[in-house]
Structure 1
Amino acid sequence: MTFFKFIHSYLLALFVFAFSFGTAQAAVILVYHHVSSETPASTSLSAEQFKKHLTYLRDNGFTVMALNDLIDSLKAGKTIVDKAVVITFDDGYTDIFEQAHPMLKLFDYPYTLFINPGKVAKNKSGYLTWAQLKAMADDGVLIANHGLHHDSLIKTPEGMSQEQWAAQKIAELQQSEQILADQLGQSWKYFALPYGEYTADIQQKLQDLNYVVFTQQSGAVGLDTDLTAIPRFPASQPYDKIKPLATKLKSLPFDVAASSQRSNTIVDANTPPEQLDKHIKIKVKDFYASQLNCFVSGQGRVDVNWAADKSSFDLQIKAPLDIGRVRANCTAPSIANPGRYYWYSRPWFVKTDDGSWYKD
């Protein structure tokens, strides 16, 4: 009887574990810029490859949902349908209207376009016009804020303090939001950060103004995601191949503490590793701490040092970070969902040796 009781208890434990974690709840947001073979490769993929992305989503059980539906669910703490995907574009290039929009209509997939109204007003070649944007909006496209002029919120020009610059850019953000409302009848208060650059202080200021904010670092989205730093996976070259994209589309969100989602992001050149904000508080559930792997831009895989109670870990970075936008990407395989990985990214923005900002 003892043996059978053991088997019964073991099977019951497996059932409870599967019930708790087996039905994953995660969304992935993709970010594109150009759909063209004639534009810079680092922000582009061909129309043919973009169609392959849409076909893969359709044929592999993904639910492509509107961004506002996802955000409403997150705000309300509602269950997210598993394998949910949101499609977004930044900057508002004409090839989105000419190439991507017809394909997305054909697949009946909703999507969001983040634009800079200041650029639209200048009628710059290669950028969408208000007439084109109005036609897209009438087709159901969600059009949201990418800042008035695509200025970084952290790259302070000479003669201004960081606080003054951030205040100016946020005032322009509010102006941009009003232009969207006036021109298109849309005001979602969704903001895609230019270059994905931000600080914890900027996060708080945007939260105070009720903005939902999107970054350019990788990771899945879940109910514990900070709505002032929502990750998006880049899907242009060189990240446009189906096999690696498939892994990202099936990724899951770690349960990262709120404090670790508001980290110190600005770093001086040659800052000693021990002075970096590389502490991450996280709940270990549905993955083994020993299987967590982290990689830092320019340094490859780095070890992690877990706290004794496994409530947090430190990245064991051995050298100063490279100049520019740097990220640590951490992943771990799910126990209950074989073939799927938890994914979290920590960003740093590293100044040049003379204290100035790197060029974009």
Structure 2
Amino acid sequence: MIKPLTLLGWMALFGWLSLFGINANALVILQYHHISDKTPFITSTAPEIFEAHLDHLIAEDIEVVALEKALTADPTSVGSNHVVKVAITFDDAFPSVLVKALPLLTERQLPFTLFVATDLIETSRNRYLSWEDLKTIQTAGGTIANHSTRHQHWARKPSDQSMQAWTKAFIADALEAQAMLEANLGPVPKLYALPYGEYLPALASALENEGFTVFGQQSGAMAYPPQLVVPRFPMGGPYSDINRFKTKVRTRPFPRQPKRHQPLLHGLETRPIINLKTIASKEFERITCFGPEGRLTPSTVNDNVLIGASQPLKPGRARYNCTQMSDQPGRYFWHSFFWMKLDSDNRWYPEP
């Protein structure tokens, strides 16, 4: 008689699968801002394109799940990578979420999450939704979650402050925003989207210790257990293209990716190297990476694949995007490594 696996047995099985680069569960999270063709292009998705995204998910029988319910892997779904799951999120309480997105989502009965910077609800009423609007979204089935109080650049720690003091201020801000959400909307899940997708690992770890799941803006699928900063696919501007969308919603977490990543690069750090650990040379041959200057050429050391830029990174935000064909036709492993490059004098780059 075959006995059912205990919890420790499931944990061992997940560890064994992870060792061989097999992700027994996967979730693709989509990130939107404006659903409009009259707002800044890079953060906007035209309503007709957004509708095409939703219709594709339904036509392909892709399961759209509530984000807060999808964060814990179901042990009974071991080996179910053929099931594609997607969560829909929005950053910032822009009016188009209520006016354009909500009717399309409710018509199709699709769950979604809206990340809100609480102080902007109070101070920017011409540009953001009101608390009453957010209650309307809740009633319609949307989840409201934490996006800080004022949408600050928390990765930009002042040089005259210690990391301990800065971390304390960051956590206080997140808890203040959470309290404001609950005071106006009732209980909300501990989900936190980083403003601008920027972060320092120490801040993300401290937030995780407070019970939050932390979300960034780097591309890729979420692994189980989740990464320290969970990836989401941005869907604004050129990234909303329907053909790219069809590929992204079927991606899987990159095999054996690190849980932590240090994105901050100081003045002399111009060509960061990432290490993709592999288990076979055939995997190395299937890896493709791109950086700001184009395709990146990987090299191998033992069973490690090293990826670096051929040209120095310029001050500003940058990414290395890596993909690898999986064993399932039409599905790729995908992961993005996010960088914040300071100038040669260790000064922060200006915002565009």
Alignment of 1:1-360 (within 5 A): 25-73=25-73, 79=78, 82-157=83-158, 159-226=160-227, 228-257=228-257, 260-273=258-271, 276=272, 278-284=273-279, 288-296=283-291, 298-308=292-302, 310=303, 312-335=304-327, 337-360=328-351
Alignment partners' CA distance in 1, 2:171 and 2:24 = 36
Alignment partners' CA distance in 2, 1:253 and 1:210 = 23
Question: Residue deviations 1:226-266, cap 9 Å, x none?
Answer: 1x211000111111111111111111112224xx3312221
Question: Residue deviations 1:169-190, cap 9 Å, x none?
Answer: 2211011011111111133111
Q: Specify the SS of the correspondent of 1:315.
A: strand
Match of 2:15 in 1: none
Deviation of the 1:89 alpha carbon: 0.0
TM-score, normalisation: structure 2: 0.87
Question: Residue deviations 1:288-339, cap 9 Å, x none?
Answer: 221111111x22111112232x2x321132332121111111111113x112
Match of 1:13 in 2: none
Q: Structure 2 vs 1, CA of residues 284 and 70 (structure 1 numbering), >3 Å: closer, same or farther?
A: farther
Alignment partners' CA distance in 1, 2:104 and 2:189 = 24
Deviation of the 1:208 alpha carbon: 1.3
Question: Residue deviations 1:134-172, cap 9 Å, x none?
Answer: 111122211100011101221124643444333212211
What letter corresponds to residue 334 of structure 1 in structure 2?
Answer: S
Q: Structure 2 vs 1, CA of residues 22 and 166 (structure 1 numbering), >3 Å: closer, same or farther?
A: closer
Which ranges in structure 2 are unaligned for 5 or more consecutive residues?
1-19
Q: Structure 2 vs 1, CA of residues 164 and 348 (structure 1 numbering), >3 Å: closer, same or farther?
A: same
What letter corresponds to residue 250 of structure 1 in structure 2?
Answer: R
Question: Residue deviations 1:36-61, cap 9 Å, x none?
Answer: 11110110011111111111111112
Alignment partners' CA distance in 1, 2:315 and 2:60 = 39
Match of 2:12 in 1: none
Alignment partners' CA distance in 2, 1:116 and 1:104 = 22
Q: Which moved more, 1:96-105 or 1:181-190?
A: 181-190
Q: Which moved more, 1:139-148 or 1:194-203?
A: 194-203
Alignment partners' CA distance in 1, 2:282 and 2:189 = 36
Deviation of the 1:213 alpha carbon: 0.4
Q: Structure 2 vs 1, CA of residues 30 and 284 (structure 1 numbering), >3 Å: closer, same or farther?
A: farther
* Structure number with larger C-alpha Rg: 1
Alignment partners' CA distance in 2, 1:295 and 1:251 = 17
Alignment partners' CA distance in 1, 2:185 and 2:87 = 21
Alignment partners' CA distance in 2, 1:100 and 1:286 = 45
Which ranges in structure 1 are unaligned for 5 or more consecutive residues?
1-19
Q: In the alignment, is the contact (CA less than 8 A) between 2:25 and 2:73 conserved in 1?
A: no
Alignment partners' CA distance in 2, 1:306 and 1:50 = 41
Question: Residue deviations 1:89-131, cap 9 Å, x none?
Answer: 0011011001100110001100000000111121431201000
How many corresponding residue pairs?
A: 331
Q: In the alignment, is the contact (CA less than 8 A) between 1:91 and 1:114 conserved in 2?
A: yes
Alignment partners' CA distance in 2, 1:127 and 1:358 = 27
Question: Residue deviations 1:206-233, cap 9 Å, x none?
Answer: 121111000100001222431x211000
Deviation of the 1:23 alpha carbon: 10
Q: In the alignment, is the contact (CA less than 8 A) between 2:320 and 2:337 conserved in 1?
A: yes
Q: Which moved more, 1:278-287 or 1:350-359?
A: 278-287
Match of 1:3 in 2: none
Q: In the alignment, is the contact (CA less than 8 A) between 2:121 and 2:129 conserved in 1?
A: yes
Identical pairs, percent: 32
Q: In the alignment, is the contact (CA less than 8 A) between 2:270 and 2:314 conserved in 1?
A: no
Q: Structure 2 vs 1, CA of residues 22 and 58 (structure 1 numbering), >3 Å: closer, same or farther?
A: farther
Match of 2:17 in 1: none
What letter corresponds to residue 221 of structure 1 in structure 2?
Answer: M
Deviation of the 1:195 alpha carbon: 0.8
Alignment partners' CA distance in 2, 1:225 and 1:261 = 8
Q: In the alignment, is the contact (CA less than 8 A) between 1:25 and 1:83 conserved in 2?
A: no
Q: Specify the SS of the correspondent of 1:142.
A: strand
Q: Structure 2 vs 1, CA of residues 316 and 72 (structure 1 numbering), >3 Å: closer, same or farther?
A: closer
Q: Structure 2 vs 1, CA of residues 334 and 286 (structure 1 numbering), >3 Å: closer, same or farther?
A: farther
Alignment partners' CA distance in 1, 2:239 and 2:281 = 27
Q: Structure 2 vs 1, CA of residues 304 and 23 (structure 1 numbering), >3 Å: closer, same or farther?
A: closer
